[in-house]
Amino acid sequence: MRDPRMTQLADILINHSTKLQKGEVIYIETFDTPDEMMEALLEKVYEAGGVPLVSQKSWRVLRKLFMEADEATMRLVGEIELHKIKSAQAYICIEGFDNVTETSDVPADKMALYTEHWWGPVHSEWRVPKTRWVKLRWPTRSMAQQAEMSTERFEELYFKTCNLDYSRMSAAMDRLVAMMERTDRVRLVSPGTDLSFSIMGIPAIKCAGEINLPDGEVYTAPVRDSVNGVLRYNARTIYDGKVFDNVELTFRDGKIVNATSSDTKALNEILDTDDGARYVGEFAIGVNPYVTRPMLDRLFDEKIAGSIHFTPGSSYDTAFNGNRSKVHWDMVLIQSKEWGGGEMYFDDVLVRKDGRFAVPELEPLNPENLIG
C-alpha cells in the first residue's frame, strides 16, 4: 500500500506548484526515486487532464556517463534533453541521493562539458525562464545520515516540510516582500560577518511551494557592484559533489576578492569559472519553520528559519541584477541564537535578531506562527 503522504505530495506538486492544466505536457524527471512516487504523480497528472513525459535516472549511472563522455556525446544528450523540455509547459524534478558525493570524483573538465552542453541550455536557458517548474529532493538513508537523524525521523521531517500549508506561508510573506522592495541598504552582522549592500530597484520574490519543495524563502538580488565587507558562512555547502566548510568571502565593490574554505583551491577554481561567478546573483531570507539546521542539501538548507543565503553567480530573470554566470551557488548563513546569532538591518532598522523577526509586521513569519 502506498504511503498516503506521497499522494498528498503529488497533489501539491501537480495542483499547487505547477498548476497543471488540461492538455498541458509535464516533464517529470526523477533521480533514484521510488516508482511509487512516480505512480502517485501520474495519477494526479491524469486527474488534471495533463500529458506526462517521464524520465527516471540514476546518479550512479550518470557518474559513469560524465566520466567517459566526450564533447560530442554530451552535446547529443543535451540536445535530446532540450527537445524534451521544449515539449513541456511544466516540469517536476525529484532528486534522491543514495550517495550525495556520487559525482565528487568526476574531473572538473568533464563536469564543465555537462554544464556547457546539458545543464546550461536545458535548465538555465530554457527550463527556468520558460516553464512552470518545481524541484525537490527525495528522503533517502543518505540524506538522513547527512542530517544526523534516523531514517524514520528524517522522513517525518521531510513530509512535514514539504506538505505544510503553503497558502498560509504565502500570505505571511507579502509584508516581507513589500518591505524589501522599499529598502535600499541591507546590512548583515554575525560572528565573522559584516556585510553591506543595496537591493534598491530589484524585485523581491516570494517562494511558497511553487518552485522548490520544501519551500520558504523570499529572494531578491544585490545591486551588482554594491556589495562590500566580509561574509562567513556557517553551514557546510556542496557543489558538484564536493563538500566545503568554513567558507569566507571578502567583497569589494561587488566582486569576491578573497575566498577561503576547507578547500580553498577548489573553491577558487569554481569562482573562476567565468567573470560572473565572483559576483552575487541572489540574496534570500529563509523562513521554513520545520527546517532548523543544515543537512548538506541546498534545497533544505536555504529554507532554514533564521537564515540567509548569498549566492555567487547568476541572478534570476525575475530579480535580475545584470549578473550572468554558469555558476549559481547558494551558500547559507544561519543567524539563529544556536548558530551564533546575528542581526539583519534594512536601512539601519533592525528587522531580524538572532533569527527572529523583530518588527511587528513581520512577526507572522516567525516559526511558531507558521506551524498550524
pTM value > 0.85:
no
Where the chain has pLDDT below 50, the residues are none
Radius of gyration of the chain (CA): 20
Place of cell 511509487: 36
| pLDDT value for 180 | 98
Model confidence pLDDT, tens digit, residues 68-125: 999 999 999 999 999 999 999 999 999 998 888 899 899 989 999 999 999 999 998 9
Helices within the chain (DSSP H only):
4-11, 35-48, 59-68, 71-86, 108-114, 128-130, 141-146, 151-162, 166-181, 264-271, 298-301, 367-370
- C-alpha to C-alpha distance for 350 and 358, rounded to whole angstroms: 7
Q: Residue 261 in contact with residue 244, Cβ under 8 Å?
A: yes
| pLDDT value for 352 | 98
Model confidence pLDDT, tens digit, residues 292-335: 989 888 888 999 999 999 999 999 999 999 999 999 999 999 99
Task: Give the residues across from 255 on adjacent strands.
Answer: 252
Residue ranges of the domains in the chain? 4-162, 166-370
Q: Does domain 4-162 have CATH number 3.30.410.40?
A: no
- C-alpha dihedral sign at 44, 213, 92, 319: positive
Torsion of CA 179, 183, 188, 194, to 10 degrees: -170
